[in-house]
Amino acid sequence: MTFPRRPGHARDARRAGRRIHGPLVRNVLLAAAALPAAAAAWIGVTGWLAHTELLAAQQDLNALRAAVAASAGPHPTSAAAAGAPAESDQERWLRSAADHAAHAHHLTTGPAWYTAAQLPFLGGPLETVRGIAQASDRLTGDVLPPLVRAVPQLSAGAHAGGVPHVLTVLESEAPAFTRAARVAAEVRDDAQRLPRSTWLSAADRGRAQLSQQLDSLVPKTRDAAVAARVVPSMLGARGPRRYFLAFQNTAEARGTGGLPGAFAVLRADRGHLSFERFGNDNEMDGVRTHVNLGAEFADQYGNNEPGGVWQNSNMSPHFPYAGRLWAAAWRTHTGERLDGAIAIDPSSLGLLLRATGPARMPDGSAITADNAVDLTERASYARYEVAQRKAFFVDAARAAAGRLMNATDDPRLFPALLRAVHDVQREGRLQLWSAHPAEERLLVSRTFGGALPDTPGPFAGLVVNNAAGSKLDYYLDRSLVWAPGACTDTDRSVTATVTLTNRAPVSGLPHYVTQRVDAPPYRTRPGDNRLLVSYYASEGATLTRATLNGHRVELIPGEERGHPVYTLDLELPRQSSRTLVLHLREPQADRAPTILRQALVTPLRATVKPAGPCRV
């Protein structure tokens, strides 16, 4: 049945609809207007909670660092020493830090945080906070666990099974270390993409602190990953290995550190180390070998006969070149093949002897952490004639090496020795080359491989080679100031200021220390030194001009592993300084340079100035 419509029915219906929908629309509009305020409140509350969680995670990580240091000492925790399954202090602190970081990450996810972080200008700090929380979650959840887990295992292994057990632990943990290093690098890349400057200074400080921590952590995780992959095989886990071990005398500078003086042949068999023989540079004089290191190497060093003059075999700062030359020379000399080469110096011995205790010489005297450098690079020159001194160097090397070998078999000293080895390689005083290509490919990627980096990017290197035949580099001070100037969209100006100071006393030094085997055609005094000073610039750089003490000077151009090299033959009188200033144009880059630090007696003082303005 159809009812007839009453007049005005449609109008009444529309009025009723307005009565129904009016409040609904108003409520929706009010709710929409309240959403930003609610979202802001939500972000404020969860942001504060996330901040609290991150602070708690940082406190746990500080406690973790202290616990790791304690467990790596001579008296590990009882659980680690006994191999007990109970949770260690390190694992407990890491688990707590991971829980706090995961909660902070959870608090900063979701639609409100994601949307707000995309807002122009206002969203910058929120994006930074989200990034910091996510980075903390990944670091505590994926990067640190395998590293922390390995500490008590290595400590317990050192006490239970010595070096062989340590090698077993390293081999088993190598895949986890490799993954941790990869994740750490990914986290750093993500952190570098976070806003550098926002309207909230606290967020900017948090990002800067995170970047600083990652810049320190990433190389360490890569070092651990590479060490876990190469150390077991290099120490004879799969069969005996033999190495040429050179003790570099940094009183006479060479590219890799110092003159190759005393040496030994080191044998490694399933982690047990022993020395087959010792010798000095006299034994290698006159040994000639030919190793093709490329036209670039020949152009740079060929005139100095690195394959025929033993004292010039390591003029290049690229240690693999020296390793190959030393192994080839040893084979020419003895017919024996070696598996690689290792270089250390008296400063290295000092750091290692601080962990092991003093080494006793045949005459009853001691080489200690405090006197190793002075005894071998200054006092011995005043005490002995040439032949006696060379014999003394061999005796010192044998005594120190014997003390170190005993320490590797002493579970009380082994953890401290591991820390000392880390300190030595961090200073660039331990350099390794492997004759096995797969191992060498990994070694050259880390500082202990002693490689001159050949990757693009800002770079600054100061390398000196003693050209006088003296032992005056014991008294050499070096400083390098790298100052980027104005830039365009393609390049920028760079000023590199090198200052060298010869602190040699005017009297009292033995003739052998001050001798001038270069026989210069000009008059010199005892204590005057002569150096080949080489500056290694960034790939693609060009030198526009150079001055020495304010006067224009011409430098000898060259190239090594992609780096332009500019060399000055410098006479450096005693008690004097010389300042070399290089003005360069380099490819534009927004990061600080990699600094090549040649390890001599006195460390290089390097300063990197802030970047100048760019014109784009």
Q: Is the dihedral of CA 439, 441, 444, 446 positive or negative?
A: negative
Indicate if the pLDDT at residue 366 is higher than 90.
Answer: yes
Q: What is the pLDDT of residue 313?
A: 97
Pairwise CA distance, residues 268 & 478, whole Å: 37
Let me know if residue 1 belongs to a domain: no
Q: Lowest-confidence range among 25-39, 123-137, 347-361, 428-442?
A: 25-39
Same domain, 417 and 396: yes
- Which amino acid is residue 554, in one-letter code? E
User: Is the confidence at residue 20, as pLDDT, over 70?
Assistant: no
CATH at 342: 3.40.630
Most confidently modeled of 10-24, 302-316, 382-396, 405-419? Answer: 302-316
- Note whether 544 and 604 are same-domain residues: yes
Average pLDDT over residues 514-538: 96
Residue 31 lies in a domain: no
- Residue 100's domain comprises 36-234
Rounded percentage of the chain residues whose pLDDT exceeds 90: 69
Q: Looking at the predicted structure, is the pLDDT value of residue 506 above 60?
A: yes
pLDDT classification of 23: cutoffs 50, 70, 90: low
DSSP 88: P
- Check residue 607 and give its pLDDT: 97
Choosing from 443, 472, 501, the residue where a domain stops is 443
Question: Residue 451: what pLDDT?
Answer: 97
Q: Which residue has the higher pLDDT, 589 or 311?
A: 311
**Average pLDDT value for residue range 283-301:** 94
Q: Are residues 328 and 298 in the same domain?
A: yes
* Spatial distance between the Cα atoms of 56 and 231, rounded to a whole number of angstroms: 36
CB atoms within 10 A of CB 26: 10
The reply to whether 616 falls in a domain is no
Residues 262 and 325 occupy one common structural domain: yes
pTM given for the model: 0.87
Asked whether the predicted pLDDT for residue 257 surpasses 60, the reply is yes
Mean pLDDT of 379-396: 89
Res 155: pLDDT: 67
pLDDT exceeds cutoff 50 at 455: yes
pLDDT in tens, 539-584: 999 999 999 999 999 999 999 999 999 999 999 999 999 999 999 9
Residues 280 and 148 in one domain: no
At 76-130, the pLDDT tens digits run 444 344 444 456 788 899 999 999 999 999 999 988 888 888 888 888 989 999 9
Indicate which CATH number applies to the domain containing 529. Answer: 2.60.40
In the chain, the number of structural domains is: 3
- Of 564, 563, 616, give the one whose Cα is nearest residue 590: 616
Average pLDDT over residues 268-278: 92
Q: Between these two residues, 24 and 391, which has the higher pLDDT value?
A: 391
- Domain end marker among 409, 443, 477: 443
Mean pLDDT of the residues in the chain: 88
Query: What is the SS3 assignment for 580?
Result: strand
558 and 525 Cβ atoms separated by less than 8 Å: no
- pLDDT at position 29 is 43
Domain check: are 71 and 184 in the same one?
Answer: yes
185 located within any domain: yes
Q: Is 442's pLDDT higher than 90? A: yes
What pLDDT sits at residue 524? 96
**The amino acid at 603:** P
Could you tell me if 494 and 408 lie in one domain?
A: no
pLDDT in tens, 131-165: 999 999 999 999 999 988 887 777 666 666 667 87
Question: Are 72 and 415 spatial neighbours (Cβ–Cβ below 8 Å)?
Answer: yes
**DSSP-based three-state secondary structure for 48:** helix
Q: Are residues 563 and 414 in the same domain?
A: no
Higher pLDDT, 489 or 320: 320
Q: Is residue 209 part of a domain?
A: yes
575 and 550 within one domain: yes
Show the CA angle centred on residue 446, arms to residues 466 and 134, nearest 5°: 140
Answer whether residue 6 is part of any domain.
no
Q: Which comes out higher in pLDDT, residue 81 or 347?
A: 347
pLDDT of 586 reads 95
| Ranges 52-61, 246-255, 484-493, 522-531: which has the least confidence | 484-493
Look at residue 34 and tell me whether its pLDDT is greater than 50: no
Decide which of 382, 416, 443 is a domain's last residue: 443
pLDDT grade, residue 31 (50/70/90)?
very low
What pLDDT digit, counting tens, does each position of 177-216 carry?
A: 999 999 999 999 999 999 989 988 999 999 999 999 999 9
Task: Read off the DSSP letter of residue 592.
Answer: P
| Per-residue DSSP letter, 238 | T
Q: Are residues 478 and 426 in the same domain?
A: no
Question: In 400-435, which positions are buried (b, 16+ CB within 10 angstroms) versus exposed (e)?
Answer: bbebbbebbebbebbbbbbebbbbbbebbbbbbbbb
29 or 512: which leads in pLDDT: 512
On whether both 418 and 482 belong to a single domain, the answer is: no
- Burial class, 339, CB count within 10 angstroms (exposed 0-12 / middle 13-18 / buried 19+): buried
- Of residues 301 and 389, more confidence is placed in 301
Same domain as 385, residue 352: yes
pLDDT of residue 160: 61
> Is 17 within a domain?
no
